[in-house]
């Protein structure tokens, strides 16, 4: 038999807070050796220090109080091992989750670009002449050619040149619901258009992940798939239409482009 000590002294001896000791008493995990019937003071025996340390150890190992209780009341070593093993499995599971989380966060901060031909880009705000329509996905090619012609004509009528390659904005619904808004645009410094079917707009700035598709639009859906998978695995997709930029065209012959930049809006985390 050791000597009787107050909860404060026992707290110092075991590195368990008084609140924790009272809590363990309430739950029947660690009973004081003696309780003063008059004022309710708890008194612990110094021989209980080791037992308290065991509790502290397993709590520090993340084991729940019911499990610690079961562990300490189990006489059989097999039962004890089962409890510890089950807890180990949970902690291994948590370890895996945390590792995945840390990996994903690290990649958010410095995305691995080499694995795909994907680069991150800030698209600045631009003024452009645009032609928009709500269309079905099936008629996109026909609409695309007509809109290209419309923009080319507008430029020639006004006698100005484009400030960069043309592009398109495609609402997500166009792909998910096969029906949605499409916009073709050409950058220009003029803020009024000479034709009623063409309007001047300010296209907002946005952060995008870009994959360049080579050649005509033959097989571009596979490039879309590759970029979509990349963004969802390594980045965070953001709202807004998908952008395309049509590159490699000669002069004002917009239809002669040889490359398409597919620009997928992302939630930006890196400069």
Partner DNA sequence: TTGCTCCTCACGTCACGTGAGGTGGC
Contact residues toward DNA (CB under 7 A) are 6-9, 11, 17-20, 22-24, 38-42, 59, 64-66
Among left, alpha and beta (phi > 0; psi -120 to 50; other), residue 209 is beta
Of 230 and 254, CB closest to a copy of itself: 230
For residue 49, the SS3 value is helix
Instruction: Report if residue 145 touches a copy of itself, rule: CB under 8 A.
Output: no
Q: Which does 65 bind (CB under 5 to 8 A by kind): DNA, a copy of itself, none?
A: DNA
Instruction: Report if residue 95 touches a copy of itself, rule: CB under 8 A.
Output: yes
Query: Least Å distance between CB 70 and a copy of itself?
Result: 13
Residues 14-43 contacting a copy of itself, CB under 8 A: none
Of 4 and 268, CB closest to a copy of itself: 268
Number of residues that this document lists for the chain: 271
Query: Least Å distance between CB 55 and a copy of itself?
Result: 10
Query: Least Å distance between CB 105 and a copy of itself?
Result: 4
Decide if 100 contacts 214 (C-beta within 8 A). Answer: no
Decide if 201 contacts 128 (C-beta within 8 A). Answer: yes
Of 66 and 204, CB closest to DNA: 66
Q: Which does 109 bind (CB under 5 to 8 A by kind): DNA, a copy of itself, none?
A: a copy of itself
Query: Residue 72's closest CA among 27, 8, 12, 14?
Result: 27
Of the ranges 57-65, 126-134, 150-158, 191-199, which one interacts with a copy of itself (CB under 8 A)? 57-65
Residues 6+ positions from 112 with CB-CB distance below 8 Å: 234
Question: How many of the chain's residues bind a copy of itself (CB under 8 A)?
Answer: 46
Can you tell me the distance from the alpha carbon of 62 to that of 87, in angstroms, rounded to the nearest whole number?
8
Residues paired with 34 in a beta bridge: 43
For residue 82, the SS3 value is helix
Residues paired with 44 in a beta bridge: 5
Of the ranges 29-37, 55-63, 136-144, 188-196, which one interacts with a copy of itself (CB under 8 A)? 55-63
Query: Least Å distance between CB 82 and DNA?
Result: 18
Can you tell me the distance from the alpha carbon of 151 to that of 197, in angstroms, rounded to the nearest whole number?
9
Query: Residue 234's closest CA among 117, 111, 99, 100?
Result: 111
Query: Least Å distance between CB 178 and DNA?
Result: 25
Structure tokens at 109: 């901060």
Query: Residue 246's closest CA among 215, 225, 223?
Result: 215
Q: Which residues are near a copy of itself by CB under 8 A?
A: 2, 46-51, 53-54, 57-58, 61-62, 77-78, 80-81, 84-85, 87-88, 91-92, 94-95, 98-99, 101-102, 104-106, 108-109, 172-173, 236-240, 267-271
């Amino acid at each position: 038999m050791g000597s009787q000590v107050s909860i404060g002294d026992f707290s110092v001896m075991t590195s368990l807070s008084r609140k924790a000791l009272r809590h363990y008493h309430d739950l029947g995990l660690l009973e004081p050796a003696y309780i003063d019937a008059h004022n309710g003071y708890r008194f612990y025996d110094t021989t209980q220090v080791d037992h308290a340390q065991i509790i502290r150890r397993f709590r520090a190992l993340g084991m729940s109080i019911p499990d610690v209780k079961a562990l300490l009341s189990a006489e059989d070593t097999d039962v004890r091992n089962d409890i510890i093993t089950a807890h180990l499995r949970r902690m291994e599971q948590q370890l895996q989750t945390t590792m995945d989380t840390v990996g994903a966060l690290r990649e958010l901060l410095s995305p691995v670009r080499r694995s795909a031909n994907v680069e991150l880009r800030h698209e600045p705000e631009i003024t452009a002449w645009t032609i928009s329509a709500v269309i079905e996905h099936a008629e996109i090619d026909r609409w695309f050619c007509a809109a290209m012609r419309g923009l080319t004509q507008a430029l020639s009528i006004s006698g100005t040149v484009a400030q960069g390659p043309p592009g398109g904005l495609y609402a997500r619904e166009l792909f998910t619901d096969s029906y949605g808004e499409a916009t073709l645009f050409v950058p220009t410094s003029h803020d009024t258009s000479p034709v009623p079917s063409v309007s001047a707009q300010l296209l907002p700035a946005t952060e995008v992940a870009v994959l360049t598709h080579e050649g005509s639009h033959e097989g571009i859906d596979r490039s879309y798939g590759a970029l979509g998978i990349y963004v969802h695995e390594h980045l965070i997709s953001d709202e807004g239409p998908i952008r395309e930029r049509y590159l490699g065209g000669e002069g004002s012959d917009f239809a002669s482009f040889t490359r398409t930049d597919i620009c997928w809006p992302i939630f930006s985390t890196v400069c």
